[in-house]
Amino acid sequence: MKRAHVVLFSLGILTGCAGLIGVPDLTFDETAGQGDPDGAAGDAGADGSSPGDGGPTTCDESKLQTDPKNCGRCGHDCLGGACNAGKCESVLLAGGLENPVDLTLDGANVYVTARGNGAVLRVAKDGSKTDVLVSGHDEARGVTLDGQNLFWSNLEFAGDGGDGYWGGVWGCSLPACSDVHLVTTADWAANVRYSNGFLYFAENNNGVVVRVKPDGSMRTDVGAGNKPFSVAVDGTHVYFQANADDLRRVQLDGGSQETVGPLSYGGALGFVAVDDERVYWAYGEYESPKGFVYSALKANPAAPKVSYGTNNVNSLGVAVDATTLYWTNEGTFDGTSSAKNGELLACPKAGCSGDPVVLAEGLSAPGAIAVDDAAVYYLVFGSTRGSADGELRKIAKP
């Protein structure tokens, strides 16, 4: 018989590194252009040119170990980072953040929520500017875009009566974000995502997954589970992690729920991502630091799953592009602070043929990830809950 494990998340008790970031731990009972892994897209042409750059570039092959414009191969640009031993290093886009937890991208900017001071930030992708769009939204979590508007979810908000954790989903119009408004209230709203004309989010304390129009209309519960946390949406389904031993999905307008794959070992919830063919998810084990990263075929969830990495430690963030899966391992937490052994890793989506590619290491609890054509953007939560040493970083795709 499994022994039940209960974490008093509402009281802020930290268990493992997932407790550091504030991801709810599971409670179980016995019923319950550039970036191809082979370098093809970034290889230089016969004239020394880099694909898509409009012309030839100078590439001294004797300097591929140190040249940030031709790092490891001709045409592989580190996008402002250093080149060390033929591998690009990351670039700090914004530092001094108070426990950043989620991010999303548009063409020029990264949008970040920081749970420590309830801030919603806009950071230029080149790191040249940071704007604080919103502050004081306690426990700001998920963030998403619909093209013209920004939305975020938070666990609390001013004016909720001051007694419990009563949160909501908020929005504003870009670029000014001067019309901040409440879309809908929710009891611990987490990880809002926009898709198909609707916002989807986990209402953690009420145990439901919610769909609502950006104007607050047509709100309905489409899924259910004990303490749902993260969601991902495609053209037909909502995929979500909840306090159960499996990842689940439900049709966009609700209905019966399907099991997609494992979410077991008494784990702490992580993030979920989808592409055209597969769904990807990460989580950490409650009773040890071990982490897990899986993907499943959306067309046949019962088919064998693909697992990624064999030495993961408290896995959390996931993101995908056309060829590659990226994920973060938070690393370990000694009860006071991060051990600074977190990692950003990558493997082909079809599976790791050997050890994952280590893009960055020695990090203080890295979490959410987002990707564009050239780079991977990732958040570093910081040394401990309440600290102001969190970061937003960018690294060129391998």
**pLDDT at residue 266, rounded to an integer:** 63
**Interval 192-213 mean pLDDT:** 95
Domain contains 56: no
User: Which two three-digit tokens encode residue 233?
Assistant: 């949406």
Strand ranges of the sheet holding 189-195, from the earlier edge strand across to the other edge: 189-195, 198-203, 208-212, 220-224
Instruction: Verify that 69 and 209 share a domain, yes or no.
Output: no
Question: Per residue in 162-186, pLDDT tens?
Answer: 555 468 999 999 999 999 999 999 9
Same domain for 186 and 137: yes
CA 150 to chain centre: 17
Q: To the nearest whole percent, how much of the chain has pLDDT over 70?
A: 82
Judge whether residue 34 has pLDDT over 70: no
For residue 110, give the CATH number of its domain. 2.120.10.30
My answer on whether 325 and 280 are in the same domain is yes
71 and 171 in a common domain: no
Together in a domain, 78 and 103: no
54 assigned to some structural domain: no
- pLDDT tens by residue, 56-112: 557 988 899 999 999 999 999 999 999 999 999 999 999 999 999 999 999 999 999
Report the distance separating Cα 358 and Cα 338, nearest Å.
19
Q: Is the domain of 310 the same as that of 337?
A: yes
Residue 4 belongs to some domain of the structure: no
Q: So what's the pLDDT on residue 243?
A: 86
pLDDT of residue 40: 33
Q: What is the pLDDT of residues 268-302, one digit of tens each?
A: 789 999 999 999 999 998 777 899 999 999 999 99
Taking alpha carbons only, the member of 112, 139, 107, 137 closest to residue 123 is 112
> Which stretch of 213-217, 305-309, 381-385 has the lowest confidence by average pLDDT?
381-385
Q: Show which of 89, 124, 155 is a domain's final residue.
A: 89
pLDDT at 50 over 60: no
pTM to 2 decimals? 0.87
Average pLDDT taken over every residue of the chain: 85
* Cα gap 265→245, rounded to integer Å: 8
Task: Identify whether 131 is part of a domain.
Answer: yes
Mean of pLDDT values over 348-374: 96
Q: How confident is the model at residue 124, as a pLDDT?
A: 98
- Hey, CA dihedral for 256, 258, 264, 270, is it positive or negative? negative
Q: Which of 4-8, 326-330, 390-394 has the lowest mean pLDDT?
A: 4-8
Residue 348 domain-assigned? Answer: yes
The pLDDT of residue 143 is: 98
Say how many domains are in the chain. 2
The pLDDT value recorded for residue 139 is: 87
pLDDT at 389 over 60: yes
> pLDDT confidence of 334, banded at 50, 70, 90?
confident
Domain span holding position 244: 9-32+92-396
Does the pLDDT of residue 17 top 90, yes or no? no
- pLDDT(125) > 70: yes
For residue 102, which of 281, 296, 319, 248 has the smallest C-alpha distance? 319
DSSP sequence for 280-312: EEEEEESSSSBEEEEEEESS-TTSPPEE--SS-
- Is the model's pLDDT at 46 over the cut of 80? no
* Residue 383 included in any domain: yes
DSSP 368-392: EEEE-SSEEEEEE--SSTT-S-EEE
327 plus 190 within the same structural domain? yes
Structural tokens at position 208: 């439901």
∠342-270-27 over CA atoms, to 5°? Answer: 115
Share of the chain above pLDDT 90, in %: 70
Identify whether residues 37 and 105 lie together within a single domain.
no
Amino acid at 313: V
Q: Which of 6-20, 107-121, 146-160, 249-263 has the weakest average pLDDT? A: 6-20
Q: Is residue 262's pLDDT more than 50?
A: yes
Asked whether residue 313 is domain-assigned, the answer is yes
